[in-house]
Structure 1
Amino acid sequence: MMDRLLGAPGLDGLRHLAGPLAARRVVHVRLAEDLRDLVRQPPGSMIVLTGAATRQAAGYRLDVAIRDAAAASAAALVLTSFDAPLPATATALAERGALALLAFTGDLAELAVAAERALSGPAADALARAEAATSAVLRAGGDPDRIAEAASQALGVPVRTDGAVFSADLPADPPDAPPTGSASPQGHLARAVRLVLGVAALAASGGQSDDHPVRSRSQLLTELLIAPEEQAFRLATRARALGLAVDSWHIALRVEPTALAGTDRYAVLDAVGPVAARLLRSAGGPDWHLARADDALIVIRTQQLDPGRDGLRAAVADAGWLLSRLGDRFPGAGLRCGVSGAHRGPLGLRASALEARTALLRNPAAASPVTAHDVAGLDRMLVEWYSSDAARQAVQELLAPLLALGPKRAEPLVRTLQSYLDHQGSPARVAEELHLHRNAVSQRIRRIEDLLHTDLGDPQQRLALQLACRAARI
């Protein structure tokens, strides 16, 4: 489709700079005046940077812009009046991100009109839009406003609603399109729009399902996060059937009302979930899915491609934006958010949820309400390892005599053991870190050795216990 755009009337000033032309289908044409808006564009967008935005994209900022556009699954990024040599890094990023990088010289309004005209012609494109719109309409849960919004985004044509009655200005064939055998507006896209309007009316006439498809995906996602590893792979098949892209890349946001406990905490979480879903749906950008696990709201940010460091920064920004709006609605809840690194696939989904939890545990009193997990180092490797059932079972077995004492009695012993092993067996340094007397440290260590029936002087046992202590506190 991109090669059709390059040769379309009115687009003579459009030229190809780098990246594949046929990697993604162009569905939308979007104008961007600020580089920060790139990550929020809908998938399949041909993003046209204004002259001011193109001037912003100088040096390393061009690399960042390409990464952000690729993370949003954009089809193309168009630079306006760009005549500088293209850096090798930009070329490589466009290729790796499956993003067509283009340059345009001319009037932006003419570019938008000509691009829309080129997109509106062929039957194959109209059929693809109709398919995407029908699927989006059926996922909208019977709500007329959401149906109209979903149909508009997928078709690229504004759809209006008045109750269960839907309408749109039917597009005509472009002047250079092949004849359809009927008078305009009877083009391929117009027929697709009429088909989708009919499906929309049927979907709305059945009444709202109170987000039943969304709730089904949310419930399944919760099961995926808490089920045993073997069962999680079976659940992944069901998740794919429900439209969850479990095989993509995931970043988890864990939202907790830290100022609340008991029934108040559950009540706020019940209220926060639907509000967060509406906010994220209105923001656009990557796919968002919600789940409940461990007395917290888990928000999963899913993308087809590895988001990289720029995607992680965008996720932290999204978390801050979400928390600021939720905080206005729930001011006394003490909402905080932990942000994970990016992981791929069903097990990566579980690792992301663990990392988000770890981020909050490591910084319970941080100045910012949003805390990102360290994307490098031992904690990340431990989370990857500890997300498997075999690793969790090994940790439980190794520390079983301590854990059998119950959480209140076991926690100080595990913490003392970890500190003792971290400080190479120095009671003085453990006492300083834990604010204990040296004799108290020595007594605890002797009790730990008796309970575990282990020799802390054995290097292999020391290493195993050190990893187990860290993992047990994730």
Structure 2
Amino acid sequence: MTTRGERRWPILDIVLRDLLQQEGLAGVTVLAGAGGLDRPVRGVEIIECHGLSLPYRPLAAGILYYLPAHCVAATSPLLDVLVRHLADAGAGGLLLHGHRPARAPASRAGSRAATAGLGGARSQEPSGPAPAPHGPSGDERSAHGQLPGEPAPAGWVEPEREPRLPRSFLLLAERLRLPVLDLGPVSVTTVVERLAVSRQDALLAAYRRCDAAVQRILEAWREGQAVEAVVALLGEATDGTCDLVPLPGYPQVDPGKVPPWVDQGPGRPALHQEGDRLHAAMVIRVRRRVESAYLIHGVYAARPWQDFVVQRVFAAAAPVVHSMLEQRLVVWESRLRSKLDLVQNLVLSTSAVRPEVFARAREAGWDLSGPHTVVLLRVPDYGSVVRSKAWTDAEALEAESQILDLLERYARSRGWWVFGVVPEPGTFLLVLRRQDRPVWRADEVRQLMAEAVERLHQSGHDFAISGGIGTIGSGVDGLRRSYRDAKQGLHLGYALRGPGALVTAEEIGPERHLYGWYRSADAQAFIEAVIGPVFHLPPTQRTALLETVEALVRARGDVSRAAEMLSLHRNTVRYRLKQFGRRTGIDLSNPQTFYLLALALRAYRASQT
């Protein structure tokens, strides 16, 4: 919350403390509000007053206001009001001339102060520079409001040479941390000149800081440093910190990670000040196979012209960071495409292998003369997982890359040679070979994959992963046969055992040879003929009936056991079975129709994977 006297200052101004250290301002004295000397200032204005009244006028932040001596009254409550207005507006401070030698002869006494309603307030007759060419200013009027040489009103009493300021006025300024300065022998013109010179010096220094920061970033880019190092320089070179993070959900920005003031347009830096800290943020969007976005966020100390420097350095660094991120994606995609192309030719294809493919395989470490095992893993219902986690395309690819990397690293740590790719979303293909011996069992591979999947769950990937382990084979034909067995094991294992099953080809047994028929048009017609009427029911009712019938098949027709498997009452199971028989016309007490029902259910589950 912003309180009185604690405003968000414009950063491109000069700090008052630094201004007072300039040459020619040594005679200025701080009367009150020394705690506010870190306020930036950007100009000087004179408060014009008529007589001893201070008319209302709009005030601006960062301005040093000069109150002429004839407006300072020893007991005037208007000074307290003025301090409050200046603090509320965020002014840079108040300038006074409390010690000025008399320039004109003593003027005659008058009753002007009493007429103004200020009682016995005493004011000082001003002295100062010569009149301006266009006439005397308010600063050249005498304490009784007359111009030099004009007769003073009757009854006027000579004021004191150095009027005392009200104690309440100084205490209030101290509490509000509003600097009150006594110029002493220094003229207002000198303050204005020093402020202009200081602003120009600060701007020149800002240009130098900006050039130095851009040069350091370009040198890091030419040296081939990582993009994270360049972004770190973006903060270090401008006296701050800066980091690069992936932007989740772009362009639907996550409010928890991206400040609301950030301009979501790519390549445009946005600035925001909080207290004495300047925040800068910029979105970098990269489009290759998928669109991804990154957020550069820096935090800097507030100093003169810091926003000028940061904004220009960010703008200069934007194309450099964009090109580096794009180059990283190009290398990653080309490497991924090269591995996938090799697997496509050696494992997934049914065509003859070209000689150059064999050469690339040898370079990648393949020994096609030795045995290999193909493992196929998949995240069941991967689309639902992506939707539930609200992943973008870039985040889904990143998650797949992390999973594949963890699987490969764990297999290598256990003494296996491994070559992995992601042939399609949510699917991971691994080619494995023992490095210490030429023979191994399929159970060893299944145990290895079970341990690797457990590591995945511990690392935060908390979704189920099903898998099929192929047979051990040598040469290209052996690789392709192992892949077919792994694929059949993956689909049949999921259909018969549910999600998360890791099965070998030997565990599936001869039924794996029915895999092709399960996914054929004849099988679809058979499924429709046996249980087709159930598919016309609402989804919840259809699911309940199919689950009940499948439990009955696994229980080999025992209703009580099926009820235990479903955690339902026997009467509920009987009611559902009666509904199923009425819909399909199947007599569940007939062994022949019961066998056809079991086959149709297996074919249906296998076709759904």
Tell me: higher relative CO, structure 1 or 2? Use CA pairs within 8 A at least 6 residues apart.
1
TM-score (norm 2): 0.33
Give the alignment's TM-score, normalised by structure 1: 0.40
Q: Whose helix proportion is higher, 1 or 2?
A: 1
